[in-house]
Structure 1
């Protein structure tokens, strides 16, 4: 046991992989290992992965010829790794170079922390009045903007969280899984001051591939396809809405279960809140 095991899932983004994979490898601490799972058969993306898959920091590689999504590779890491800490970094994300040291130090100092993350939104999205309401102080001088879930990239969680909460179930999103853990007493959220993660799929990122509506339509993210977003402007507004939702979301766990959630899955409620198509 010991150390950190980090999953990166790659799919159909060769430009991003050539940025995100070496960035992740360079940010690894001495006891961190990267597990690569490649989805699909896009030759250019697979070639980009092959450039780095034999790096000594890459521990395991798996190629799924079909897009297996997120649940199967996440559970693969959780079941087969041995690290005390677990993570996933998406192939469209560049977490701050110090992210592992900062997040692990927080975990070591605060036993009740479950999943804590880097922050993927620009400064212009921060609502300080909302943040201040959710800030809490912990041992070792750590501060957390509490929220019962974080995004599924650039986070660090304790293996004990997986051991108690279990793997991702077939109907789980990462959001709903984090909420299960919160009900067990784990404290989730973002370290504060926020530790940045450059989200390349956000059109405001200087490294994004989305410069025109034509670029966006040709290679829309799955979440944009599901919500019917078709333009860069609409996608940017959805990013802004996502930032607002996590800052404004209630810390009352009763809001996410029982009669208040009747007739809707939690993941659908969160997705609709983010797209602005239904009230929170």
Structure 2
């Protein structure tokens, strides 16, 4: 396969961008192109991006004065990029330095791989029994902890999967998009042994900006607002819970459609109505 196109969306996090963007550029092979999309008008964040706009690995830059979210810039990359492999790295993430080499080789060797990714949770969150139950081996020594979706950062996917599944719709999250691909037969999951991705928004990261509850409330992530999380301790517990959810998630695709999916949606709405907080 030839050519890798990688999206980074930046927004209101200058401390993170000054780490994540140089880190991403340093990890890129010569045929990788980084597409930068800046949301909003925060000048320190924009300055951090502008300083690297002329880097030889930076291919395109787009500035949206309003926060366009994730769907529009993701579809921008998917529709306009020409590489056989596509990726996105969040501005609060530092993937393993060798991540592209390893994931690219896996994509080259295994035609049925769809979205395969780096692993953003610390070692303390890994449940060896749950992981072992979902490990699968593939040609040339590649192994995945299979799951029908991965997080929307530090992944590598084939352009052919995008061609088959289509763009992100208004109803899609990256998770539901991955599930649509899985229903078409694409194999998704985390490369194993895990390739770490330092998720700086996790309070356990050495680079986090969330040192106190005051720091957290001043710059709370959108997902924390949606789930009613207000303290560093609660946010850390949400990270732990998220790790367990993906390790324990079923590989039976029937669990994610029809009445089973509706049952989980109803449960979520009931809990939100009773407690003001949706399950994670």
1:262 shift after superposition: 2.2
Query: Structure 1, residues 215-269: CA drift from partner, whole Å, max 9, x if none?
Result: 0000001111111110000000000000000000000000000111126669x79
CA contact (8 A) 2:85 2:157 kept: yes
What is the distance in 1 between the residues matched to 2:40 and 2:80? 22
The runs of at least 4 aligned residues of structure 1 exceeding 4 Å deviation read 263-266, 276-279
Q: Give 1:18's aligned residue.
A: 18
Is 1:44 equivalent to 2:44 in the alignment?
A: yes
Using structure 2 for the length normalisation, give the TM-score: 0.95
Secondary structure of the corresponding residue to residue 217 of structure 1:
helix
Structure 1: gaps spanning 5 or more residues: none
Q: Give 2:94's aligned residue.
A: 94
* Match runs of 1:43-192 below 5 Å: 43-192=43-192
Q: Give 1:248's aligned residue.
A: 248
Query: Structure 1, residues 143-197: CA drift from partner, whole Å, max 9, x if none?
Result: 1000000000000000000000000011100000000000000000001000000
What is the distance in 1 between the residues matched to 2:71 and 2:243? 24
Secondary structure of the corresponding residue to residue 68 of structure 2:
coil
Is 1:220 equivalent to 2:224 in the alignment?
A: no
CA contact (8 A) 1:8 1:36 kept: yes
CA contact (8 A) 1:2 1:82 kept: no
1:2 shift after superposition: 2.9
Secondary structure of the corresponding residue to residue 262 of structure 1:
helix
What is the distance in 2 between the residues matched to 1:2 and 1:224? 38
CA contact (8 A) 2:227 2:278 kept: no
Q: Give 1:238's aligned residue.
A: 238
Secondary structure of the corresponding residue to residue 77 of structure 2:
helix
Aligned length: 274
Using structure 1 for the length normalisation, give the TM-score: 0.95
1:18 shift after superposition: 0.2
What is the distance in 1 between the residues matched to 2:36 and 2:265? 30
Pairwise CA RMSD: 1.8
Residues 278, 11 of structure 1: CA spacing in aligned structure 2 closer, same or farther, 3 A cutoff? closer
Structure 2: gaps spanning 5 or more residues: none
